[in-house]
Amino acid sequence: MAEHIKRIGVLTGGGDCPGLNAVIRAVTKTAIWQHGIEVVGIEDGFQGLIEDRVRPLSARDASGILTRGGTILGSNNRCNPKRYCVRVDPATGPVWENVTGQCVDTARRHGIDAIIVIGGDGTMASAAPLVEAGVNIIGVPKTIDNDIVGTEITFGFLTAVNTATEALDKLHSTADSHHRVMVCEVMGRNAGWIALTAGVASGSDIILLPEIPFDLDHLAENIRFRMRKGGPGFAIIVAAEGARPREGQQIVDRVDPTSPDPIRLGGIGRWVADEIAARTGIETRSSALGHIQRGGGPIPADRILATHFGYHSIKILMEGKRGRMVVRQGNVFGDVDLLFAAGKQRLVPPHHPLIEAARAIGTGFGDGKTREPALDSEAMDSVVV
C-alpha cells in the first residue's frame, strides 16, 4: 500500500472528450472519501504544470459534473514538456525548449506525490519525460479515436460513435429522398474505429478506413451498381479522416508548426464526393462532422467506463504502482506500463471481425473484396440498405 500518498494532482491533456469530467469526479471522490488524500486540479493540461496553475479540488467541486461534456480543468493539445514552443521567431519559426524541469518543480512546490494524467497517446507521450524524471504518473486512456495501445476501449469513443451514427441516420433519409450519394467524414486520425463502428451501426453502404486503402474505380462501380434500375437509388459512404486511395496520400487540412503533433487531417470526404460525381455523373454531396463528435455530454456507457477508469487509477496508485496506465482488456480492468502505450496508435486490423461481418452483408470498403448481390428482384428484396 502507498500510505505516503497524501496529495495528488489530476490533469486533462489533449483534445476535449465526453467523459473527462466523469473521470475527474471518480478520481477526486475516491481519493478523498476512500483514502483521505488531498486532490489538486492542474489547469489546461501540462500547461498548468509549466505555468504553475494549480488549484484545490474538493468533493463538492466534483459533484454534479458526471453528465457534463468537456472538462472543468481545461485542456491543451499543443503542449509537450519535452518539446515546448516558447515563442515563434519570425525568421526561423518555432523555438523549442525542454521544460520538464519546470513541471517537476511545480509538482514538488505543491507537494504533489502523484499525478493522474487523463489523455490519449500524445498525452501519454508528453507524460513520459515526467515518468523518467521520477514523477509518479498514473494514466487514464482518453480519446474518441479509440486508438490507444494496450486497452480495448477508451472512454469518449462510444459517445462519438453515437453522435456519428445519428448523423448518418439523418443523411440516410435525405439521400433516399433525393437519390443522391452522401459522403460523411468522421474523425479518427490514422485509425478507423469511429468510421467502422458508426458505419456498421448506421447501415452505411461503403466504409473507407485508413487501414484499407480504397480504389476509386471499385468505389465508382459500387455506386453505379446501387443506382441501377431495381437498386436502392442512393448510397451512404462514411469516410475516416485518415482514409486514402491506393497509391495516394492522406489529405492534410492544415499544418500547425507550433504543435508537437502538427498534422491536421481533413478533406477526404469532399475529395471522394467530387471524384464520385466526376466519374459517375451522379449527384454526390459531402458532410464533415468535425468537432461535433467531441462535444456534448457522455452517453451512459461512457459515464460508467469513465467512472471505472477513474476509480481504478486510484486503486493501482494505492497498490504502490508507478508509471502505469489503466486499461480494459476482455472486459477486465488492469494496467500496463505507461511508456508502453506512449506515442503509439492502435489501428483496426484489416480482418477485424466487424469488418468480416460487414462484408458478409454487402458493405463495401472500396477495395473490391466485397461481393455484390445479383440485380434480380428476389436478390434485391434481401439487400439491406
In the chain, % of residues over pLDDT 70: 95
Whether residues 199 and 312 share a domain: the answer is no
286 lies in the same domain as 310: no
Digit-coded pLDDT (tens) for 290-316: 899 999 999 999 999 999 999 999 999
pLDDT of residue 45: 94
Provide the pairing of β-strand 181-186 with 235-240.
parallel
Q: Which domain holds residue 80?
A: 7-155+298-341
In a domain, 1, yes or no: no
The residue to which cell 491506393 is assigned? 246
Give the C-alpha separation, 50 to 80, whole Å. 10
- The dihedral over CA atoms of 356, 362, 368, 372, expressed in degrees to the nearest 10, equals 140
What is the spatial distance between Cα 176 and Cα 197, in angstroms, rounded to a whole number?
Answer: 22
- Neighbour count for residue 108 (Cβ, 10 Å): 11
Q: Are strands 324-329 and 332-337 parallel, antiparallel or unpaired?
A: antiparallel
Helix locations, 248-289, DSSP H:
268-280
CATH number of 148's domain = 3.40.50.450
The arithmetic mean of pLDDT across residues 320-345, rounded, is 94
Gap between the Cα atoms of 366 and 275, Å rounded: 13
Please tell me whether residues 212 and 359 are part of one structural domain: yes
Residues 364 and 259 in one domain: yes
**Residues 358, 259 share a domain:** yes
Q: Is 281 left (phi over 0), alpha (psi -120 to 50) or beta?
A: left
pLDDT at residue 175, rounded to an integer = 85
Candidate from 78-87, 156-165, 311-320 with smallest mean pLDDT = 78-87
How many domains does the structure of the chain reveal? 2
pTM of the model: 0.92
pLDDT in tens, 36-82: 999 999 999 999 999 999 999 999 999 999 999 999 999 988 888 99
SS3 state of residue 77: coil
Strands annotated E in the chain:
7-12, 38-42, 54-57, 84-89, 93-97, 114-119, 137-141, 181-186, 206-208, 235-240, 252-255, 263-265, 284-288, 324-329, 332-337
> Are residues 187 and 315 both part of a single domain?
no
DSSP 8-state secondary structure symbol assigned to residue 264 = E
Do the beta carbons of residue 66 and residue 13 sit within 8 Å? no
What's the CATH code of the domain at 205? 3.40.50.460
pLDDT for 381 equals 45
Helix (H) or strand (E) holding 161: helix 157-178
Do 14 and 150 share a domain, yes or no?
A: yes
Looking at the structure, tell me whether residues 193 and 286 fall in a common domain. yes
Asked whether residue 220 falls in the same domain as residue 359, the answer is yes
Dihedral sign for Cα atoms in the order 104, 105, 106, 112: positive
Do the domain assignments include residue 2?
no
Q: Are residues 233 and 367 in the same domain?
A: yes
Share of the chain above pLDDT 90, in %: 75
Q: What is the pLDDT of residues 247-271, one digit of tens each?
A: 889 988 888 887 777 788 889 999 9
Within a domain: residue 63? yes
The residue behind cell 497524501 is 6
321, part of any domain: yes
Residue 39 C-alpha cell reads as 486532490
pLDDT beyond 90 at 333: yes
147-165: average pLDDT: 96
Residues 129, 148 within the same domain: yes
Given this model, what pLDDT does residue 93 score? Answer: 87
Contact 49, 40 (CB under 8 A): no
Higher pLDDT, residue 342 or 202: 202
Residues 337 and 357 in one domain: no
List the catalytic residues: 145
**Residue 20: per-residue pLDDT:** 97
DSSP letter for each residue of 170-201: HHHHHHHHHT-EEEEEE--TT--HHHHHHHHH
> What per-residue confidence (pLDDT) applies to 374?
52
